Structure 1
C-alpha cells in the first residue's frame, strides 16, 4: 500500500471510529442519559463488587473531573453509594444502589443486547476479523510510537 493510500485508509478508519462514538452518544440521548454518564453506568453495571473513580477514568479515558461530576449527580439521584473498597480501606469504592441497579437495568442490558445483535449480524468470521485487525492496528501504532 502506498503512503497516499494508507493516508486515505486512516481517514476512513477515523471516520468510522467517530461514527461509532456518535451512534453511542445518540443512543444514550435517546435513553435520557449523556454519553459519558452511559460509559460510567456501563462500568458500574459490569463491576463485580465495586468500582473506583480511577478505574472508570482509566477504562474510558475520561477526565477525573468529568467522572466526579457525573458520580456526584448519580449520588444525588441515589443511584450510587460510596464506601471503602473491600481490599483497600483507603480507597473510595463506588457501587450501584438498589435504585441504581433498577435504573441501570433499564439501560445497560438494552445496549448490550444491541451490541450483541450487531456482532451476531457480522458473523463469527467478520467479528473475529474486526477485533483482530483493530488489535493489530493498535500493535502497529504502539510499535511506531516506540520508534519516534
Structure 2
C-alpha cells in the first residue's frame, strides 16, 4: 500500500514538472521560438557581460552543435553579436545587439516579470520550502541516476551504446 502511495506521489510530481515544461514550450511557440531557442535567449539575457557559447552549453545542457545553430540563427536575424573577449581571444562573447535586447526584453523580460508576479503570490516560507524541496529532490535524483548508470551494463539493456551525437 505504501509503495502504491509513493508511486502515486512520484507520478503527481512528475506530472507537475512536465506540465511546467509544457507551459514554457507553449510560450516559446507562441512567441515564434523553439523551447531550446527560448532557453538560449534567456541565458544570453541573464548574462549580458560574460556570456559565451561554453556558458550557454553548461547552463542549458545543450550540445555545442545545437547552441551554435541557435546562435547562428540569432546572428542571421541581427539579435546577437559575437565580440572577441579581452581576457581570452579564443572565445567570443555572445551579446545582444540593440534590436536583440529589445526583442529579448519583450520575450524573456516579460516572462521574468510573470515568474516574479507568481512568486509574490506565495509566502516567503512557501518559496523557501519550494526551493528546499526542489534541492532535495534534485540531489536525490542525481545520486540515484549516478548509481543506476554505474550499475547498468550493455547486456542488461540489450546491446551496444547508441550515440546520437
Q: Same fold (TM over 0.5)?
A: yes
User: Aligned partners of 1:122 and 1:29: how far apart in 2?
Assistant: 28
1:84 alignment partner in structure 2: 84
Flag structure 2 segments of 5+ consecutive residues without an equivalent. Answer: 149-165
The 1:86–1:13 alpha-carbon spacing in structure 2 relative to 1, beyond 3 Å, is farther
User: Aligned partners of 1:35 and 1:141: how far apart in 2?
Assistant: 23
The 1:25–1:142 alpha-carbon spacing in structure 2 relative to 1, beyond 3 Å, is closer
User: Aligned partners of 1:112 and 1:142: how far apart in 2?
Assistant: 27
User: Aligned partners of 2:76 and 2:144: how far apart in 1?
Assistant: 45
The structural deviation recorded for 1:30 is 1.8
1:12 alignment partner in structure 2: 12
User: Aligned partners of 1:58 and 1:65: how far apart in 2?
Assistant: 13
User: Aligned partners of 2:35 and 2:45: how far apart in 1?
Assistant: 15
3-state SS in 1 of match to 2:89: coil
Flag structure 1 segments of 5+ consecutive residues without an equivalent. Answer: none
User: Aligned partners of 1:106 and 1:146: how far apart in 2?
Assistant: 39
Contact between 2:48 and 2:96, CA under 8 Å: does it hold in 1?
Answer: no
1:121 aligns with 2:104: no
3-state SS in 1 of match to 2:94: strand
User: Aligned partners of 1:30 and 1:3: how far apart in 2?
Assistant: 40
The structural deviation recorded for 1:131 is 0.9
Contact between 2:39 and 2:60, CA under 8 Å: does it hold in 1?
Answer: yes
Contact between 2:25 and 2:34, CA under 8 Å: does it hold in 1?
Answer: yes
The structural deviation recorded for 1:48 is 3.5
TM-score by length of 2: 0.81
1:49 alignment partner in structure 2: 49
User: Aligned partners of 2:115 and 2:95: how far apart in 1?
Assistant: 24
User: Aligned partners of 1:37 and 1:145: how far apart in 2?
Assistant: 27
TM-score by length of 1: 0.89
